[in-house]
Amino acid sequence: TTIFPISKSFVELYEIKPNKIKNIDFLTDLRKKYPDLAIQGIFSKYVLSKSHAKKILKLSLEAKNNQNILSKKLETDILMRFACTTQISEAIKTAGLKPKESSIIVALGKKSSLKKLHLELKPLLNQKTISKNNSQFLKKQFKISKKQLDSVYSKSPLEDILVEKAAVLF
Protein backbone atom coordinates (compact mmCIF):
# COMPACT_ATOMS: atom_id res chain seq x y z
CA THR A 1 0.00 0.00 0.00
CA THR A 2 0.95 3.58 -0.43
CA ILE A 3 -0.03 6.54 1.76
CA PHE A 4 0.54 10.06 0.47
CA PRO A 5 -0.89 13.50 1.20
CA ILE A 6 -3.06 15.40 -1.29
CA SER A 7 -4.52 18.78 -0.32
CA LYS A 8 -5.56 18.40 3.33
CA SER A 9 -6.25 14.67 3.06
CA PHE A 10 -4.26 11.48 3.11
CA VAL A 11 -4.72 8.90 0.38
CA GLU A 12 -3.97 5.22 0.45
CA LEU A 13 -4.00 2.80 -2.48
CA TYR A 14 -4.56 -0.91 -1.92
CA GLU A 15 -4.39 -3.57 -4.60
CA ILE A 16 -6.90 -6.34 -3.94
CA LYS A 17 -5.99 -9.75 -5.37
CA PRO A 18 -8.34 -11.34 -7.95
CA ASN A 19 -11.30 -13.33 -6.55
CA LYS A 20 -10.92 -11.81 -3.05
CA ILE A 21 -14.03 -9.62 -3.26
CA LYS A 22 -16.88 -11.98 -2.43
CA ASN A 23 -19.97 -9.79 -2.81
CA ILE A 24 -21.21 -6.77 -4.70
CA ASP A 25 -21.75 -4.86 -1.45
CA PHE A 26 -18.01 -4.87 -0.69
CA LEU A 27 -17.60 -1.10 -1.24
CA THR A 28 -20.93 -0.23 0.38
CA ASP A 29 -19.96 -2.22 3.48
CA LEU A 30 -16.55 -0.50 3.68
CA ARG A 31 -18.17 2.93 3.29
CA LYS A 32 -20.62 2.16 6.12
CA LYS A 33 -17.78 0.99 8.38
CA TYR A 34 -15.59 3.99 7.55
CA PRO A 35 -17.97 6.94 7.03
CA ASP A 36 -15.14 9.46 7.46
CA LEU A 37 -13.25 8.04 4.45
CA ALA A 38 -14.00 8.50 0.76
CA ILE A 39 -13.57 4.98 -0.69
CA GLN A 40 -13.65 3.93 -4.35
CA GLY A 41 -12.76 0.74 -6.17
CA ILE A 42 -11.11 0.83 -9.58
CA PHE A 43 -10.38 -2.02 -11.98
CA SER A 44 -6.58 -2.10 -11.72
CA LYS A 45 -6.09 -2.03 -15.50
CA TYR A 46 -7.23 1.63 -15.42
CA VAL A 47 -4.41 2.68 -13.12
CA LEU A 48 -1.11 3.21 -14.93
CA SER A 49 1.08 4.07 -11.91
CA LYS A 50 1.08 5.60 -8.46
CA SER A 51 1.85 9.02 -9.92
CA HIS A 52 -1.05 8.62 -12.39
CA ALA A 53 -3.37 7.81 -9.47
CA LYS A 54 -2.02 10.75 -7.47
CA LYS A 55 -2.66 13.19 -10.34
CA ILE A 56 -6.21 11.90 -10.96
CA LEU A 57 -7.04 12.14 -7.24
CA LYS A 58 -5.65 15.66 -7.13
CA LEU A 59 -7.94 16.60 -10.05
CA SER A 60 -10.97 15.18 -8.22
CA LEU A 61 -10.12 16.93 -4.95
CA GLU A 62 -9.52 20.25 -6.71
CA ALA A 63 -12.81 19.85 -8.58
CA LYS A 64 -14.58 19.19 -5.26
CA ASN A 65 -12.94 22.22 -3.62
CA ASN A 66 -13.93 24.41 -6.59
CA GLN A 67 -17.47 22.95 -6.65
CA ASN A 68 -16.74 21.72 -10.16
CA ILE A 69 -17.18 18.02 -9.41
CA LEU A 70 -18.55 15.67 -12.13
CA SER A 71 -21.15 14.09 -9.81
CA LYS A 72 -22.61 14.57 -6.35
CA LYS A 73 -19.99 12.34 -4.73
CA LEU A 74 -16.20 12.57 -4.72
CA GLU A 75 -15.96 8.77 -5.07
CA THR A 76 -17.96 8.85 -8.30
CA ASP A 77 -15.91 11.74 -9.66
CA ILE A 78 -12.73 9.73 -9.04
CA LEU A 79 -14.08 6.70 -10.92
CA MET A 80 -15.28 8.85 -13.83
CA ARG A 81 -11.86 10.48 -14.17
CA PHE A 82 -10.05 7.12 -14.23
CA ALA A 83 -12.55 5.96 -16.88
CA CYS A 84 -12.27 9.30 -18.76
CA THR A 85 -16.05 9.57 -19.14
CA THR A 86 -18.85 11.81 -17.86
CA GLN A 87 -21.27 8.87 -17.86
CA ILE A 88 -21.53 7.27 -14.41
CA SER A 89 -22.91 3.98 -15.74
CA GLU A 90 -20.11 3.76 -18.32
CA ALA A 91 -17.47 4.49 -15.65
CA ILE A 92 -18.86 1.75 -13.39
CA LYS A 93 -19.10 -0.76 -16.25
CA THR A 94 -15.58 -0.18 -17.58
CA ALA A 95 -13.39 1.03 -14.71
CA GLY A 96 -15.37 -0.11 -11.66
CA LEU A 97 -14.45 -2.97 -9.32
CA LYS A 98 -14.20 -6.38 -10.98
CA PRO A 99 -14.42 -9.13 -8.32
CA LYS A 100 -12.65 -11.73 -10.48
CA GLU A 101 -9.87 -9.28 -11.42
CA SER A 102 -7.27 -7.34 -9.50
CA SER A 103 -8.70 -4.04 -8.22
CA ILE A 104 -7.35 -0.89 -6.63
CA ILE A 105 -9.12 0.49 -3.59
CA VAL A 106 -8.59 4.24 -3.20
CA ALA A 107 -9.29 5.67 0.24
CA LEU A 108 -9.05 9.34 1.24
CA GLY A 109 -9.28 10.74 4.75
CA LYS A 110 -7.54 10.74 8.12
CA LYS A 111 -4.41 8.65 8.63
CA SER A 112 -5.91 6.91 11.69
CA SER A 113 -8.93 5.67 9.69
CA LEU A 114 -6.70 4.63 6.80
CA LYS A 115 -4.62 2.51 9.20
CA LYS A 116 -7.77 0.72 10.48
CA LEU A 117 -8.93 0.10 6.91
CA HIS A 118 -5.48 -1.23 6.01
CA LEU A 119 -5.62 -3.77 8.84
CA GLU A 120 -9.03 -4.96 7.67
CA LEU A 121 -8.00 -5.29 4.02
CA LYS A 122 -4.55 -6.80 4.68
CA PRO A 123 -5.57 -10.47 4.01
CA LEU A 124 -6.95 -9.46 0.58
CA LEU A 125 -3.98 -7.42 -0.60
CA ASN A 126 -1.29 -7.93 -3.20
CA GLN A 127 2.15 -7.26 -1.72
CA LYS A 128 2.95 -4.74 -4.43
CA THR A 129 0.41 -2.02 -5.28
CA ILE A 130 -0.09 -1.41 -9.00
CA SER A 131 1.85 -4.51 -9.88
CA LYS A 132 1.22 -4.74 -13.64
CA ASN A 133 2.18 -2.52 -16.54
CA ASN A 134 -1.17 -1.50 -18.06
CA SER A 135 0.16 0.87 -20.72
CA GLN A 136 -0.81 -1.31 -23.72
CA PHE A 137 -4.36 -1.77 -22.37
CA LEU A 138 -4.76 1.97 -21.67
CA LYS A 139 -3.40 3.02 -25.08
CA LYS A 140 -5.88 0.71 -26.78
CA GLN A 141 -8.79 1.59 -24.45
CA PHE A 142 -8.42 5.34 -25.00
CA LYS A 143 -7.20 5.10 -28.62
CA ILE A 144 -3.88 6.80 -27.91
CA SER A 145 -1.55 6.53 -30.89
CA LYS A 146 2.23 6.47 -31.04
CA LYS A 147 2.01 9.81 -32.86
CA GLN A 148 0.12 11.33 -29.90
CA LEU A 149 2.63 9.91 -27.43
CA ASP A 150 5.55 11.21 -29.49
CA SER A 151 4.04 14.71 -29.55
CA VAL A 152 4.12 14.99 -25.73
CA TYR A 153 7.40 16.25 -24.34
CA SER A 154 7.52 14.43 -21.01
CA LYS A 155 9.13 11.56 -19.11
CA SER A 156 5.68 9.96 -18.88
CA PRO A 157 3.67 10.94 -21.99
CA LEU A 158 0.96 8.28 -21.58
CA GLU A 159 0.33 9.34 -17.98
CA ASP A 160 0.15 13.00 -19.03
CA ILE A 161 -2.32 12.26 -21.84
CA LEU A 162 -4.54 10.22 -19.48
CA VAL A 163 -4.50 12.98 -16.85
CA GLU A 164 -5.30 15.58 -19.51
CA LYS A 165 -8.26 13.48 -20.72
CA ALA A 166 -9.49 13.28 -17.11
CA ALA A 167 -8.96 17.01 -16.54
CA VAL A 168 -11.07 18.15 -19.50
CA LEU A 169 -14.19 16.24 -18.48
CA PHE A 170 -17.25 18.46 -17.84
Q: Are 129 and 104 in contact (CB under 8 A)?
A: yes
Segment 92-142, tens digit of pLDDT:
999 999 888 999 999 999 999 999 999 999 999 988 777 678 999 999 999
On the question of pLDDT at 11 being above 80, the answer is yes
At 5 the pLDDT is 85
At 1 the pLDDT is 57
At 28 the pLDDT is 94
At 46 the pLDDT is 96
Instruction: Report the alpha-carbon distance of residue 28 to residue 39 in Å, rounded.
Output: 9
- List residues bridging with 91 in a β-sheet: none
What is the mean pLDDT of the segment spanning 149-170?
90
Read off the pTM.
0.92
Which strand (E) or helix (H) includes residue 3? Answer: strand 2-6
Q: Are 14 and 121 in contact (CB under 8 A)?
A: yes
For 102, phi then psi, to 5°, come to: -70, 135
